[in-house]
Structure 1
């Protein structure tokens, strides 16, 4: 099994404005598609949008392809249920994922730069096939290749996870900091230099995953 973290950038023909509310709606920071399905040319999704409902509703209300929507405001954002008709060209975007072993792991993160970031999991050959099957109208960047899909923490070694957990429990990450690296080393029963190295390597991996950058 291989996992692939990618950023795709469909052009305007493939992605209607309501498909990425982080681009279409002023004041929206991120549009997270939590799950959805496509049946008979209709896409149904549930999303969380980091932005005000009053910024989102005009976009959905005016979109000719949107058949139905419902917005539930929350602190700092809103949940959006949406059903919309997809064009023939937009449907070609999904063809790349129609491989026997492929699973696309939600959420899909739509960003204000027009990119959609997602994790694809499957056999090595079919993960590669996903990249080859995207239409020419889609730019694809490979952000990360791995063997795990359990999130950033699953990519840490057992000792690194232990060091981060000890540091958290002892107050190393408190603001202001309660205890220093010496306390972490004492709890881990190792040298200060060893504890520092474990935390730096773990933090480097976690930050790289949070920023979706290669390391």
Structure 2
């Protein structure tokens, strides 16, 4: 058995509008994980764990023509489980089905990153994993983040970070943004990342939120 952690960057028909919201397209959502899913037969169903202004996302589900049914199960004022089912494109369905070939297993949750990507672990034989990675459509970027390890799911807080979030936090640490007293500003972080100040601030905020949440999980 092999364990591989990968990141996918779906675009176009591989990234339905609701997915775009979940993966960085809605600044009112702080963190989103796909806890479970069923793409075997239409309609496609998903169970999410959401942190942020989930009531605002609930209104999106209510207004969406592609959503057949949904339910929001609050866990706190800022966190909930959310179930919904509806229609997705054939392309998006094929992307999920690619990781069910042979004896391959996808280990929940799928982490929706704020750069539009998602990260998850797959477990199976070398042949099945290689076939799945090679079977990712040309319109979807795929990155192998890690191979092997002691567990099948991310156990470290750092493993919850999207690549850009981790880069932002590592940069901030290096230049003294987290020192006391602080030796660098958010503008300094943005300059080193070569991005807008607001973008750097968003990467740090969501990354910090993911790390804190990981520390208190369970």
Please confirm whether the aligned pair reaches a TM-score higher than 0.5, indicating the same fold: yes
Q: Runs of 5+ in structure 1 lacking a partner? A: 154-205
Paired with 2:54 and 2:160, the residues of 1 have a C-alpha distance of 26
- Offset of residue 111 of structure 1: 1.5
Q: Show CA shifts across 1:178-197 (max 9, x none).
A: xxxxxxxxxxxxxxxxxxxx
Q: Which residue of 2 aligns with 1:87?
A: 89
Residues 72/81 of structure 1: CA separation in 2 closer, same or farther (3 Å cut): same
Tell which deviates more after alignment, 23-32 or 64-73: 23-32
> What CA deviation, in whole Å up to 9, does each residue of 1:8-59 have, x standing for no partner?
0110311112125243433102211111212323211111111122221122
CA distance in 2, matches of 1:5, 1:121: 9
Aligned to 2:24: 23
2:175 maps to which residue?
A: none
Take 2:23 and 2:157, find their aligned partners in 1: how far apart are those partners?
23
Q: Quote how far apart the aligned CAs of 1:118 are.
A: 0.6
Aligned residue-pair number: 162
Are residues 1:68 and 2:65 paired?
no
**Could you say if the C-alpha distance between residues 28 and 113 of structure 1 is closer, same or farther in structure 2, counting changes exceeding 3 Å?**
same
Task: Judge conservation of contact 2:72–2:81 (CA < 8 Å) in 1.
Answer: yes
How far residue 211 of structure 1 moved from its aligned partner, in angstroms, is 4.0
> What CA RMSD, in Å, does the superposition of the two structures yield over aligned residues?
2.2
Say which SS state the counterpart of residue 97 (structure 1) adopts.
helix
Task: Report the counterpart of residue 7 of structure 2 in structure 1.
Answer: 7
Q: CA deviation at 1:212?
A: 6.6
Q: 1: CA distance between counterparts of 2:2 and 2:99?
A: 14
Structure number with larger C-alpha Rg:
1
In the alignment, structure 1 residue 99 sits paired with structure 2 residue 49: no
C-alpha distance after superposition, 1:158-215 (max 9, x if no partner):
xxxxxxxxxxxxxxxxxxxxxxxxxxxxxxxxxxxxxxxxxxxxxxxx46534477xx
Distance 1:28 1:208, change over 3 A: closer
How far apart, CA to CA, are the structure 1 residues paired with 2:27 and 2:161? Answer: 23
CA contact (8 A) 2:24 2:114 kept: yes
For 1:196, the equivalent position in structure 2 comes to: none
- Structure 2 CA distance for aligned equivalents of residues 38 and 152 of structure 1: 24
Within 5 Å, which residues of 2 pair with 1:1-215? 1-20=1-20, 21-75=22-76, 76-151=78-153, 206=156, 209-211=159-161
